[in-house]
Amino acid sequence: MKHKAARATINDVAKAAKTGKTSVSRYLNGEHHALSPDLKQRIEQAIAALDYRPNQMARGLKRGRTRLIGLIIADITNPYSVDVLCGIEAACRARGFTLLVCNTNNEIDQEQHYLQLLSSYQVEGIVVNAVGMREEALNRLQQSLLPMVLIDRKIPDFSCDVVGLNNVQAANDATEHLVKNGYRALLFLSEPLGLVNTRLERLQAFRQCCAGHTGVLCENAEAALSDAAAMDRIILDFYRRHADRPAALLVANGALTLQVARAMRRLDLDWGRKMGLLGFDELEWAELAGDGITTLKQPTWQIGYAALERVIQRIEGEATTIEEQTFHGELVVRGSTRPLA
């Protein structure tokens, strides 16, 4: 049996209420002041009786506004992205929008595909959660004429609103913490820097902070998430070269922290005992790994919420200038950066 469903239309309701569809439409749109109590009553009943619900497609077609917002996520597997999503969703709910979520799975072509898809569904705006996104993919976004807000990362040569972390403050706090607790050799570990502004900003703040302290050695290295061998090499090498002083790792994001922790496991370099470890992004399991891993927690939910509000501003035409909005991160101290003697 095929599902025919044959849902009731505004016409059915009008007929059942013995009136025209205009009045029904008025009722639906809250123009109650223009309806007699009697008519209102009849319409109400008809709607209930037929279990009628307006067809949003038709509505959107007519009004030219769908109240749909698209979200493009590079990797929905990333807890950071999920938290952001929750914030966006809450904002959508509060503002009467519906969210269309698209996960590109970090496949470059998917993004283009989804962009077209979203626009063909007449979304009114788009949020791009660029965390984990490849650069090539990001660059293709520029074509879109829709109101758009980026999360976390900027696109070189493309002005667009961005909502993200205050990288300078965050990297500074993290570095200061390590120095304060006695670490004297620091390695900033990130995925390949490329032109990714978040990585660059964090690295620069890290260096600047180091420069302010004498006797602290600073280095940085790049490692791909999937290259376990390289990771082992980098970490072990760093550890050996600084056997004479307390060494610590500052890892640029949560996904990488997971891999780094695995590597340290393999190398038998217990965090907090043989080497310090501090990672950007909070991890739900942070307290369970060894004596805990110190993290720099981002206000992810707020970031998502703010991003959506910004898109809406653009949709409403209230946003005139391109803006970058940043939030403060918070250090969550655990065993992996315990103070040294």
Partner DNA sequence: CTGTTAGCGCCTTCAG
Partner DNA sequence: CTGAAGGCGCTAACAG
Under 8 Å between Cβ of 255 and 301: no
> For residues 200 and 196, what is the distance between their CA atoms, to the nearest angstrom?
6
- Pick 18 or 265: Cβ nearer a copy of itself: 265
Q: Is 317 exposed, middle or buried (0-12, 13-18, 19+ CB in 10 A)?
A: exposed
**Smaller CB separation from a copy of itself, 96 or 339:** 96
101: partner contacted, choices a copy of itself, DNA, none (Cβ within 5-8 A by kind): a copy of itself
DSSP class of residue 212 equals: T
Q: Which is nearer to DNA, 22 or 159 (CB)?
A: 22
Binding site for a copy of itself (CB under 8 A): 1-3, 5, 7, 53-58, 60-61, 66, 76-77, 79, 82-83, 85-86, 89, 98-103, 105, 116-117, 119-122, 145-147, 258, 261-262, 265, 283-285, 287-290, 314-317, 320
Among 54, 79, 246, 299, binds DNA (CB under 7 A): 54
**How far is 63 from 59, CA to CA, in rounded Å?**
6
**Where does this chain touch DNA (CB under 7 A) — which range of 57-65, 188-196, 218-226, 300-308?**
57-65
Which is nearer to DNA, 55 or 143 (by Cβ)?
Answer: 55
Nearest to 56 by CA among 19, 96, 92: 96
32 binds, among DNA, a copy of itself, none (CB under 5 to 8 A by kind): none
- Give Dmax over CA atoms of the chain in angstroms: 90
Q: How near is the Cβ of 100 to DNA at its closest, in Å? A: 18
Contact between 44 and 51 (Cβ < 8 Å):
no
Amino acid at 250: L
Choose the one of a copy of itself, DNA, none that binds residue 83, judging by a C-beta under 5 to 8 angstroms depending on kind. a copy of itself
Q: How far is the CB of 12 from DNA (least distance, A)?
A: 8
Cα–Cα distance between 180 and 91 in angstroms, integer?
39
CB of 17 to DNA, least distance (A): 8
Residue nearer to a copy of itself on the CB measure, 100 or 217: 100
- The whole-angstrom separation of Cα 96 and Cα 334 is 40
215 contacts: CB under 8 Å, gap ≥ 6: 184
CB of residue 55 to a copy of itself, shortest distance in Å: 6
List, in order, residues 6 or more apart from 177 with CB less than 8 Å away. Answer: 278, 294, 331, 333, 337
Binding residue for DNA, selected from 15, 19, 182, 326, defined by CB under 7 A: 19
- Exposure pattern of 99-134 as b/e (b: 16+ CB <10 Å)? bbbbbbebeeebbeebbeebeeeebbbbbbbbbbbb
Beta bridge partners of 103: 73
* Region 63-122 residues binding DNA, contact defined as CB under 7 A: 63-64
Determine, following the binding rule CB under 7 A, whether residue 49 of this chain makes contact with DNA: no
Nearer to a copy of itself, 76 or 217 (CB): 76
Q: Tell me if residue 228 falls in helix, strand or coil.
A: helix
Select the residue interacting with DNA from 15, 35, 228, 291 (CB under 7 A): 35
Is residue 25 close enough to count as binding DNA by CB under 7 A? yes
Applying CB under 7 A, the residues found at the interface with DNA are: 9-11, 18-23, 25-26, 28-29, 33-36, 38-39, 54-55, 58-59, 61-64
